[in-house]
Structures are given as C-alpha cells and as structure tokens.
C-alpha cells in the first residue's frame, strides 16, 4: 500500500540523510549533531557558521522549508532556533545558535529562505533582536506599542496590567447566593 | 466646434489611491487589515497589517502552569481549535516521555478530523460569500453546527473543547455517540452532492475562481506555503503522512491534490479533503467500536505541582490551514519556559497574500484571502 | 378628467407603489430565506426598517449635494410612478409616453451618483462607477426590447399597449424572444446576483450605501421598494397584458419579481467586465433578434 | 509608558435623563419610534475577537437572526449595534472607538464574552483592554467563553425589550460624560489621542451637552488639536457639517 512504501522510502532516506549530514559536519568544524529520533535532528552551531549551514542544507540536502525560527530568552543570551524541514527525506533539523544579549543583532537569512522575513520581524518585535539585511524590519503586530519588547523575561506583564487597568466589581445574584451559603473562591 | 477649443485632456501623473481593506470590512476574514494601492481596478501594491488580535499568547503561557495552558491553547485559532490542543499535548508528552494509550490516540484522530470537516465547511461558506453566493454560506455554516453539536455531546464544549490533554483525553466516547456521528457523516455525504451542484460546479464561480491568485509549485515552496494551499499546486505533502503522529500511519487515506494552484484548485482540494476526512472518521469509528479497552489516558502527576523535565521539543500537526507547530522549551519548572507557536497562516496571511494580491484585481482580494484560508488569530497570537 | 381626480391619483399612485413595493421586498427576502433554509423576516420587517432609519436621532449629512442627490433619487422614482398605469388609475400615462418613463428611470442612478460623490469615500466612488457601468450594460438590451415592443404595438402609450393586449394576446405570446431578453434586462436592473457588482459587500463594502446613514439609508430602502415596483409594472404592462383588475395585476407583479429572486440565490456575482460582456452578448443579441422578427413581421 | 493621566474608577450610576415635559403627541411619537427601533436592529459586521465565531451560526440557517428583525450591516454608518465579540486588543480598541463615534445614535454596544467584562482568559495580557465600559458606554454584557448563539439571541431580545421601553439610552452618556471616557482612552493611548469626530460639537448640536461633557481631559484634547493645527485640517469638514446642520434647523 502507498503509505507503507512511503515509510520504506523514509527509512532509505534516513540512511542517506546521515551521510549528507556527516559530510556537512566535516565541512563545518563548529558543528555538533544530536539525533533525537528518526525524524528529528538537533544541530548546535556557532552563530558565524549558521548562514553557511543553511545554504548547504538547502542546496545540497533538500531542506527547502524553513518551518519556523524560534527565539528563547536565556536572560544572559538569546538562543535562536532554525527549524528546517526536508520534503524529500522527511527529516526536521533544528539548528541552534546563541547570540549575545546586548547589542542583540544578527544577520538575516531572508535571501536564503523567504519565510524568514516574517519570523525575524516577529522576533524583532517581541525580543528586540535586530536582523541585518532583512527587508521586512518595520513593525507589524506591535505597531501601536511603545513599551519594552514584551517577550523579554525582564518585562513583567502582570505589573504592567496592574498599572494600566482597573477591574470592575462583578457581584451577580447567583454569586451572592453561593456566598451566602458559605461558598468562596478557592485559590 | 472650434479647433482651439478641442484640447486633449491632460491626465494626472497617477490615478492611484489607497484603499483600506479591514479591519472592519466584510471581505476580510476576521480582524485583520490589508492596505491596497489601487489604480483603477488593478492593485499595484498591498501591505498586510496585523496585530488586531494580538493577546501575547506566548507570554501568557510562560506565566501559567502546564495544566492551565490546556485551556489557553485552543484559543489561538478560533475556527479550528483542536489541532492546537493536539500540538501542545504532543509536545508535553514528548518532554515527559508519556506512553499514550492506543484508544486515546484514535479518539484524538476522531476529534481532529471532525474539526477539520467543520473548519472546511466554514471556509467554503466564507469563500462563497466573498463572491456573493450567500446560500452556500448559510447551508455550510448550518451543517457545521451539527458537528459542533457532536463536539458538545462528546466533550461538553461547543467551540473550545479542551478535550485533548497531555497523556490522553478527558473522556471516553460511547457506542451510541459513535452511531450518532456516523449518522451525521451519512447526512454530510448526502449534502456534499448539493454543495457540488450549488457551488463547486457553478459556472460563474468557476469562471471567477479559475486563474485567480495562481501559485506555482516553486513559489509555494519558497514562500513557505503549507497544507491545502500547497497541495493545490500538485505537491502531495501532508504532515499526517510525512511526519506521522498519533495513529495516522495505521489509517488509510489519500492526500488530495490539484495541479492548477489557483483559488479554484485550493477550494477543490478542501472539498476532496472533506470527503477524505469523512472516510477517516468512518475508519476511526470502526476501530473504536471494535476496541474494548477503556484505558484513555496515562497517569499524570499532580497537576498543580507538575514539573515537566527540562528539554525542548518541536511538534508538528496538520491543521485544516496547514502545518501547525509548537516549539516548547522547559527548564524543569512548573511553567513552560518558552512556547513558540507557528501558525500556518503566519505565512499565508502575510507574505503570500501580499504577493498574490498585488497585480490582481480589486474584486479578487477577498476571494484570494478566503481561498488561502488565512486565519488572523494564528498570525497575531 | 377633473383636476381633483388627477390630484388624487398623483398622491395615491406613489403611495400604492410604495406599499406594493414593501411587500415585493418582503417577498424577495422571504423567498431568499426559504431557499437558504431559514425562516426569514417578520411580516412588516421592511416597514420597521424604514421607519427606524427615519427616526434615528443622529443624522449626518455630507453636504448639500448629498441631500439633493437623495431627493433626486426619490423624486425620479416617485415621478415615474405617475406615468405607470395601474387598474383604475392612469395618472399622466397618456401625457407622457414610455420614452418619458425610461428617461425618468435613469434619473435616480444619476442622483445616487451625485449624492455618493460628495461622501468622498473611495468605496462609494468605486461603487457608483460600477453602478453606472452596469447601467450602460443593461440599458442597451432594455431599450432595444422597449423599441421592439413599441414597434410591434405601433404606439408608445402604455394604456394603449395594455388595451391592445387585451383585445389581441399578451406580448409574452406574440413576441417571446423580446420578453425573454426583457426578463434578463430587468434582472440586471434590479441589481441582483450575478449582476450585483455595485453593492458587493465583500469587495467594496456595499458601494454607494457605504456612507449612508439614518434617513439617507432609509431613502435608499424606499428607493428599492419603488424600483422593484416600477420595473415589474413596466414589464407586466409590456408583456403580461398589464392589469385589468387589481386581483390579476398584483399576482402578475409578484410573479415577475419572483423569477429573478429564484435565480439570484444560486449565483455568485460576475466581475464588472464580465457583466458588460455577458449583457451585451446574450440579452442584447436576443433583443436584436426579437426586434428583427418584429420588423420583418410588420 | 505614559502614566500622566490617573485611572478613573468606573462610576456606574448614569446621569438621570431629565424628564422634560412632553405633550401627549410627542410621547406617542416616541413610543412608536421605540416600537420600530426595537423591531429593526442592524448589527455591525465587525469581528473584534474570538466570540465572532458564534455570530455566523446565529445569523445563518440554524438560529436565523433575521426572524427577529436583526440584520448584519457592513459599515458603521448603517449600523445600530456594535457587538464587541470578545477581547479587544489595544490596537483594536482604537478602531472600535473610531467605529463607535461614526455610528448614528441611538446606538447600542453589547459586550459579548467574559473578556469584555474583566479581561476574561487574558486578564494577564499586556495587549488587551480589560473593562470595556471604561472606554465606551456598554448597554449589556453577555458573559461566557464564548456565549452560545442562544445566549447571544436572548441577549439581543432583552436589548429589544429595553429599547421598546425607552431605557437603552446609554449612548447619550458618551456625550454627557465624554470627559470620563476620553480620560480613560487617553490613559491607554497617550495624551495625543484624538479622533476625527468632534464629539463636543455633536453633543452641542443634539442637545446632549452636559456638565460632565468637558473637563481636564477634553481641555487636553482641545489644547493638542489647537497646537497641532488639527482644527485647520478638519476645517472643510467642519464647515460642511455645520452648514448642513444649519440647514436642518
């Protein structure tokens, strides 16, 4: 049946996949590959080598889709994770890099992967990490926000909310009835 | 007429002007805006403007317990919430190394596919309404409501179910309920021929949708298009098959494809997927009826003091709009350290929409947006 | 005919037109709802809508021309009503013939264009340019049909045309091709799908209506009632033998209005250029064929 | 952060409408107008949040709003009801206020979903406004996450009853207590917040000008518009409006 053949093909590709990744490993010395399962690879790479790795993966190993770029705030440095998916070999490679906290600047990979434009802009808005060379660096979601980058761990959303907003009293009859019977909010 | 009075009319340099599509415009799906520059009926430039539905989900999730986030997650995409729960649950299970019972996986597939049917019915309706055919919208949304009834009977929730939790599902589904679902599927299959007659084979609709917003396979791949929109270009890629999760590797289904890559093809792919989903749900019902196990979730720790082991995971699910993925990082605490949501529409509604709309006609803006099935809350999060 | 009698007719005819128009609109909404598997609006819903809009406490005008445009639009149709013969009343029919009527029926579109022009809303401007394009598209078959019918009957007086049909046979039977072309033309004149290019909510946010509020929108609702009445009465007079009594006249009107409504719910709308292409091809071709037959027969 | 303007607590008591002596004909006309208003409600087609997903079912074949005389309308000018369906992010709230000011009175605001009451699920979020009635006069809340179509229809029917009795007048509060609403808006959007609609002039024109219409906040607005020459920019518009208003009197 069709899906069984697909599975077989995936296994074959998996073998060839490790070969390709091995070759790339030899070409770039600052690379650390960790295999999680058949379809997930984690690659740790230095920030300078990432664009080269991405173009190699796209050009040689068929990683045509940039699934997402995630940013993690580790309070002393940012971690950027590039998730790449290959439609040919059905394998996802996550390339992890670390960049410094201030100034948070990195190079854009827009000219390798077009979808990077959206994710880089998102990270710029949410974390303040600037990507040099991206044509889409103007604001999109937080156009009318003047505070600090909200996704930073140092930004306390609860404090901001308490400063900016009120709460209104909500005492409907049914709540009063319950409270009269001795009910209360369990916290 | 005297000769000197007969002068050529001088035209200004540019007849272009800006037109706001949205956020309050019936041609826009949800609360989203598109600024278009129009010259006559032709669109010279388009700029998407999002953020109207921004709630800071990723920040909110960092501030809540792992168990509390189950309730928060489905609200990311309103028309199709189940894949969101599913993706989150898959991620947490991966981090905690949970062994999910087989029956729970099949129950999840039941939910996912019913949700896909509901979402596609909604999209047909919306797409039909953009070209002025309201009957299809009225019928489709009323039929979708019947699926919501099934959800309500199964889970207690009409739109948001919070049914899928890390480790399994909340409740079992009885045989009577399965019979009801199977009756509903019979009804929907009967209705599909009505939809074919009214909408999919409608000459004027075909005339309008054909060659509108064409995506070539090469463009689709390089712009990060996924899901039905990618399959409409003739590329049979589906996360359910390629990166199989749950029990999709044990289920027989075809990947619906079309080759044209225009609005019509995208619509027809959804129509075929609807039929495929009905086929999948029937298989699931057969399995669930045969399966006598009652084990629907594994043991989870005390939810109020639940510490998920440190690690990171990237999970992908095929939602009705395309590839949905969650990147979850845990530092071993009671709350997630970081959750990144990659909604499928974050590509479709921004870059792809801008590029497809530019150079097209004003009449087609709404149609292209709905044919891409762009869901703004996924973009804004 | 006494002056007092004429004065009474001048008041009664537009009033009757409005009332019948209300029910025609109600029927359209009800039929539409039924096909969409709904219940539809309550019995007097069109009337409540109009009164509600007129009694809005805030009324925003966009300028003098905006007001004048709306008056022109209503005035055009109200004047048209007195040139349309109904059973028992003929108003100015014998003074102004069918040519006057056609002229009067074009005035509202121009009034709307003027009024919307001052709103300075781009959606409204696009809408009105589309409305005028649509008028260009449907007026050609419509005028050919009227010319054919007038040639056949040998007169442009509607009362005479009705009398001729009474003595001979209905126009529908004597010139079926022209009647068919006329039916398509009135469908386009009503602005229903697939010819609904100038309202198009998903494209231009209801076009000309985009800045209308309160009594201005109410006037457009009244115009809709009068428009649908005018068009159906004209078609009935030309091809269905007009009205001998009210009891056969009103069912004919509802039947004529029913046909476009039944068709409209199963179609999406065309693009602007497709409307022009289609209307200039099929109904115009049919109308010219019908005209040729009339001429050759004559 | 612009924390210049202090938060004002929500004063729930509404200003009593002066029962000016109306003769019997005016009362009859008022009753009939309210009767018609209650039977024909145009809902603005604007989805501000996730509650909007329950509006299509309420409008379409299953629940069919039109049988109650409720119709969706496309532009704010045509609509009577502004349904705030769920959370309003601050960016959306600006558009909601602009939309609301463009609507023609009598106009009604219904806050659907718990998020409009107290922030709901997103009480923690930096991006959403919490209490809707601080920024707009709200006629009715329909709580729930999200309320079912039946609940939405019941709420609308209750609003109809209120309108028929002539009690749904909270839209007048926006003019009468403009200073309060403007203050809260300025607190959220900053000092420079201004809209193209001149609420104070409209309040004077429709005789809705009250003691609380002006205050510190409106003074700040007027100062800003004068400083930035916005009055001049709006001049043709104002002239046009006042011209027609003169004509109407």
Q: Is residue B292 part of a domain?
A: yes
Looking at chain D, the whole-number percentage of residues with pLDDT higher than 90 is: 0
pLDDT at D9: 42
Q: Is residue A174 part of a domain?
A: no
Q: Which of D3, D125, D131 sits opposite A166 (nearest CB)?
A: D131
In chain D, the residue whose alpha carbon lies closest to the alpha carbon of B27 is D74
Q: Does B71 touch chain D (CB under 8 A)?
A: yes
The domain that holds A10 is classified in CATH as 3.30.460.80
Q: Is residue A113 part of a domain?
A: yes
The domain that holds B262 is classified in CATH as 1.10.645.10
The alpha carbon of residue B62 is apart from the nearest alpha carbon of chain A, in Å, by 9
Q: Does residue C206 carry a pLDDT above 70?
A: yes
User: Which residues on A lie below 8 Å from D7 (Cβ)?
Assistant: 164-166
Under 8 Å between Cβ of D105 and D82: no
Rounded CA separation B161/B170 (Å)? 10
Residues 6+ apart with CB under 8 A from C23: C254
pLDDT at B187: 92
Contact A158 D124 (CB under 8 A): yes
Contact D64 C33 (CB under 8 A): yes
Q: Is residue A123 part of a domain?
A: yes
User: Which residues on C lie below 8 Å from D40 (Cβ)?
Assistant: 45, 48-49, 51-52
pLDDT band at residue B327 under the 50/70/90 scheme? very high
Q: Is residue B9 part of a domain?
A: no
Rounded CA separation B32/B48 (Å)? 8
Which of C29, C46, C48 is most worth mutating to test chain D (most D CB atoms within 10 A of its CB)? C48
Q: Is residue A115 part of a domain?
A: yes
Q: Which of D67, D71, D104 sits opposite C214 (nearest CB)?
A: D104
Find the mean pLDDT for residues D224-235: 62
Q: Is residue B4 part of a domain?
A: no
pLDDT at D240: 43
- The domain total for chain B is 1
pLDDT band at residue C298 under the 50/70/90 scheme? low
Rounded CA separation C130/D180 (Å)? 44
Q: Is residue A110 part of a domain?
A: yes
Contact D122 B148 (CB under 8 A): no
pLDDT band at residue A17 under the 50/70/90 scheme? low
Q: Does A5 touch chain D (CB under 8 A)?
A: no
Q: Is residue B7 part of a domain?
A: no
The pTM of this model reads 0.86
Q: Does residue D235 carry a pLDDT above 60?
A: no
3-state DSSP of chain A:
CHHHHHHHHHHHHHHHHHHHHHHHHHHCCCEEEEEEECCEEEEEECHHHHHHHHHHHHHHCCCCEEEEEEEEECCCEEEEEEEEEECCCCEEEEEEEEEECCCCEEECCCCCCCCHHHHHHHHHHHHCCEEECCCCCCCCCCCCCCCCCCCCCCCCHHHHHHHHCCCCCCCCHHHHHHHHCCCCCCC
Q: How far is CA B167 from the centre of its chain?
A: 24
Is the bond leading into B5 cis (omega within 30 degrees of zero)? no
Q: Does residue C166 carry a pLDDT above 70?
A: yes
A140-173 confidence digits (pLDDT tens): 888 888 878 888 888 888 888 888 887 777 777 8
In chain A, the residue whose alpha carbon lies closest to the alpha carbon of B32 is A141
Show which of residues 70-99 on chain D sit within 8 Å of chain B, judged by CB atoms.
74-76, 87, 89, 91-92, 95, 99
Looking at chain A, the whole-number percentage of residues with pLDDT higher than 70 is: 82
Q: Does residue C1 carry a pLDDT above 60?
A: no
Segments making up each domain of chain C, as ranges: 3-297
Contact B51 A39 (CB under 8 A): no
Q: Is residue A77 part of a domain?
A: yes
Looking at chain B, the whole-number percentage of residues with pLDDT higher than 90 is: 8
Q: Which of B63, B142, B380 sits opposite D61 (nearest CB)?
A: B142
Residues 6+ apart with CB under 8 A from B171: B154, B155, B163, B296
Q: Which of A65, A118, A157 sits opposite B346 (nearest CB)?
A: A118
Find the mean pLDDT for residues C223-247: 86
The alpha carbon of residue B157 is apart from the nearest alpha carbon of chain D, in Å, by 10
Q: Is residue A170 part of a domain?
A: no
C31-70 confidence digits (pLDDT tens): 988 888 888 898 888 999 999 899 888 887 777 888 888 8
Contact B350 A71 (CB under 8 A): no
User: Which residues on D lie below 8 Å from B23 (Cβ)?
Assistant: 46, 92, 95
Give the C-side interface with B, CB within 8 Å: 35-38, 122-123, 126, 193-194, 196, 200-205, 265-272, 274
C5-10 long-range contacts, Cβ below 8 Å, gap at least 24? C6/C91, C9/C82, C9/C89, C9/C90, C9/C91, C10/C82, C10/C91
Q: Is residue B319 part of a domain?
A: yes
B152-200 confidence digits (pLDDT tens): 888 888 888 888 888 888 888 888 888 999 999 999 998 888 888 888 8
Boundaries of domain holding B312: 14-380
Q: Does D61 touch chain B (CB under 8 A)?
A: yes
- The domain total for chain A is 1
Under 8 Å between Cβ of B267 and B212: no
The alpha carbon of residue A130 is apart from the nearest alpha carbon of chain B, in Å, by 18
3-state DSSP of C176-228:
HHHHHHHHHHHHHHHCCCCCCCCCCHHHHCCHHHCCCCHHHHHHHHHHHHHHH
Contact B31 D99 (CB under 8 A): no
Show which of residues 166-195 on chain D sit within 8 Å of chain A, judged by CB atoms.
187-190
Boundaries of domain holding A101: 2-155
pLDDT band at residue B23 under the 50/70/90 scheme? confident
Tokens of D21: 């002596």
In chain D, the residue whose alpha carbon lies closest to the alpha carbon of A141 is D91
Which of C26, C40, C41 is most worth mutating to test chain D (most D CB atoms within 10 A of its CB)? C41
Rounded CA separation B322/B120 (Å)? 12
ipTM of the complex model: 0.85
The alpha carbon of residue B169 is apart from the nearest alpha carbon of chain A, in Å, by 25
Q: Is residue B2 part of a domain?
A: no
pLDDT at A102: 83
User: Which residues on D lie below 8 Å from B138 (Cβ)?
Assistant: 60-61
User: Which residues on C lie below 8 Å from B138 (Cβ)?
Assistant: 36-38
Q: Is residue A40 part of a domain?
A: yes
């Amino acid at each position: 049946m069709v899906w069984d053949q697909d599975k077989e093909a995936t296994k074959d590709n998996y073998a060839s996949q490790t070969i390709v990744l091995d070759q790339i490993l030899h070409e770039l010395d600052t690379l650390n590959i960790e295999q999680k399962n058949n379809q997930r690879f984690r690659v740790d790479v230095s920030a300078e080598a990432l664009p080269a790795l991405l173009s190699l993966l796209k050009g040689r190993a068929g990683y045509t889709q940039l699934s997402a770029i995630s940013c993690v705030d580790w309070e002393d440095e940012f971690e950027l994770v590039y998730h790449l998916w290959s439609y040919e070999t059905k394998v996802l490679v996550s390339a992890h890099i670390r960049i410094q906290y201030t100034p948070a600047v990195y190079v854009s990979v827009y000219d390798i992967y077009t979808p990077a434009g959206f994710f880089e802009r998102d990270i710029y808005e949410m974390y303040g990490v600037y990507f040099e060379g991206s044509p889409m660096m103007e604001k999109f979601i937080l156009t009318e926000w003047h505070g600090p980058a909200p996704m930073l761990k140092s930004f306390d959303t609860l404090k901001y909310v308490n400063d900016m907003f009120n709460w209104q009293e909500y005492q409907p009859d049914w709540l009063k009835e319950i409270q009269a019977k001795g009910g209360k909010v369990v916290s | 007429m005297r000769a000197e009075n007969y002068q050529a009319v001088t035209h200004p340099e540019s007849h272009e002007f800006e037109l706001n599509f949205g956020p309050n415009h019936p041609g826009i799906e949800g609360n989203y805006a598109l600024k278009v520059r129009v010259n006559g009926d032709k669109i010279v430039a388009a700029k998407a403007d999002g953020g109207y539905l921004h709630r800071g989900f990723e920040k909110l999730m960092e501030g809540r317990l792992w168990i509390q986030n189950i309730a928060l997650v489905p609200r990311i995409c309103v028309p199709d919430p189940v894949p969101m729960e599913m993706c989150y649950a898959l991620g947490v299970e991966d981090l905690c190394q949970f062994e999910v019972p087989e029956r729970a996986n099949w129950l999840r597939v039941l939910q996912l596919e019913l949700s896909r049917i509901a979402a596609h019915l909604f999209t047909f309706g919306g797409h039909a309404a953009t070209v002025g055919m309201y009957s299809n919208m009225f019928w489709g949304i009323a039929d979708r409501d019947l699926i919501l009834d099934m959800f309500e009977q199964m889970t207690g929730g009409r739109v948001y179910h919070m049914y899928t939790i890390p480790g399994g599902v909340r409740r079992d589904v009885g045989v009577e309920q399965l019979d009801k679902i199977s009756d509903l599927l019979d009804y929907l299959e009967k209705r599909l021929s009505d939809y074919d007659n009214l909408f999919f084979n409608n000459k004027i609709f075909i005339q309008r949708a054909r060659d509108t917003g064409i995506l070539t396979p090469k463009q689709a791949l390089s712009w990060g298009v996924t899901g039905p929109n990618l399959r409409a270009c003739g590329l049979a890629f589906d996360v359910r098959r390629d990166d199989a999760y749950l029990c999709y590797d044990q289920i027989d289904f075809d990947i619906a494809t079309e080759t044209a890559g225009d609005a019509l093809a995208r619509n027809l792919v959804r129509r075929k997927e609807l039929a495929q989903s009905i086929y999948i749900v029937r298989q699931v019902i057969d399995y669930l009826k045969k399966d006598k196990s009652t084990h629907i979730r594994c043991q989870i720790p005390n939810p109020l003091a639940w510490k998920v082991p440190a690690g990171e995971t990237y999970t992908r699910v095929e939602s009705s709009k395309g590839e949905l993925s969650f990147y979850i990082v845990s530092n071993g605490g009671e709350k997630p350290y970081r959750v990144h949501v990659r909604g499928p529409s974050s590509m479709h509604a921004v870059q792809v929409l801008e590029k497809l709309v530019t150079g097209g006609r004003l009449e087609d803006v709404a149609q292209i947006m709905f044919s891409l099935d762009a869901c703004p809350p996924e973009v804004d999060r | 005919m006494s002056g007092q009698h004429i004065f009474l007719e001048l008041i009664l005819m537009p009033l009757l037109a409005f009332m019948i128009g209300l029910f025609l609109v109600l029927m359209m909404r009800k039929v539409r709802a039924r096909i969409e598997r709904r219940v539809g609006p309550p019995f007097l819903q069109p009337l409540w809508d109009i009164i509600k809009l007129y009694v809005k406490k805030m009324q925003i005008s966009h300028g003098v021309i905006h007001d004048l445009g709306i008056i022109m639009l209503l005035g055009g149709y109200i004047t048209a009503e007195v040139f349309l013969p109904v059973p028992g009343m003929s108003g100015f029919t014998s003074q102004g013939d069918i040519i006057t009527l056609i002229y009067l029926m074009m005035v509202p579109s121009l009034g709307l264009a003027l009024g919307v022009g001052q709103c300075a809303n781009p959606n409204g401007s696009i809408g009105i340019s589309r409305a005028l394009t649509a008028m260009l598209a449907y007026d050609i078959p419509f005028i050919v049909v009227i010319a054919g019918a007038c040639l056949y009957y040998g007169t442009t007086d509607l009362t005479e045309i009705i009398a001729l049909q009474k003595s001979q046979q209905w126009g529908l039977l004597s010139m079926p091709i022209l009647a068919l072309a006329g039916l398509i033309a009135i469908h386009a004149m009503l602005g229903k799908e697939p010819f609904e290019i100038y309202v198009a909510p998903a494209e231009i946010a209801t076009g000309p209506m985009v800045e209308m509020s309160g009594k201005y929108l109410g006037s457009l609702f009244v115009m809709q009632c009068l428009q649908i009445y005018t068009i159906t009465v004209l078609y009935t007079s030309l091809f269905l033998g007009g009205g001998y009594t009210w009891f056969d006249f009103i069912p004919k009107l509802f039947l004529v209005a029913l046909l476009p409504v039944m068709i409209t719910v199963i179609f999406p709308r065309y693009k602007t250029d497709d409307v022009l292409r289609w209307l200039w091809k099929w109904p115009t071709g049919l109308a010219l064929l019908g005209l040729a037959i009339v001429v050759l027969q004559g | 952060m612009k924390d210049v303007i202090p938060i004002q607590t929500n004063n729930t008591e509404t200003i009593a409408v002066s029962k000016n002596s109306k003769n019997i004909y005016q009362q009859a006309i008022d009753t009939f107008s309210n009767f018609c208003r209650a039977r024909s409600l145009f809902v603005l087609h604007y989805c501000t949040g996730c509650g909007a997903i329950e509006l299509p079912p309420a409008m379409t074949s299953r629940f069919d709003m039109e049988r109650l005389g409720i119709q969706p309308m496309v532009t704010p000018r045509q609509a009577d009801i502004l349904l705030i369906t769920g959370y309003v992010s601050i960016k959306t709230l600006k558009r909601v206020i602009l939309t609301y000011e463009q609507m023609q009175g009598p106009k009604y605001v219904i806050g659907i979903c718990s998020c409009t009451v107290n922030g709901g699920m997103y009480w923690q979020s930096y991006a959403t406004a919490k209490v809707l009635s601080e920024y707009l006069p709200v006629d009715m809340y329909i709580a729930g996450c999200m309320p079912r179509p039946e609940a939405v229809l019941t709420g609308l029917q209750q609003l109809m009853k209120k309108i028929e009795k002539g009690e749904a007048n909270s839209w007048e509060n926006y003019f009468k207590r403009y200073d309060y609403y403007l203050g809260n808006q300025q607190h959220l959007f900053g000092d420079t917040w201004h809209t193209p609609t001149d609420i104070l002039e409209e309040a004077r024109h429709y005789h809705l000008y009250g003691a609380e219409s002006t205050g510190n906040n409106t003074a700040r607005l007027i100062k800003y518009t004068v400083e930035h020459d916005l009055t001049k920019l709006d001049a043709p518009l104002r002239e046009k409006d006042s011209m027609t208003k003169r004509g109407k009197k």
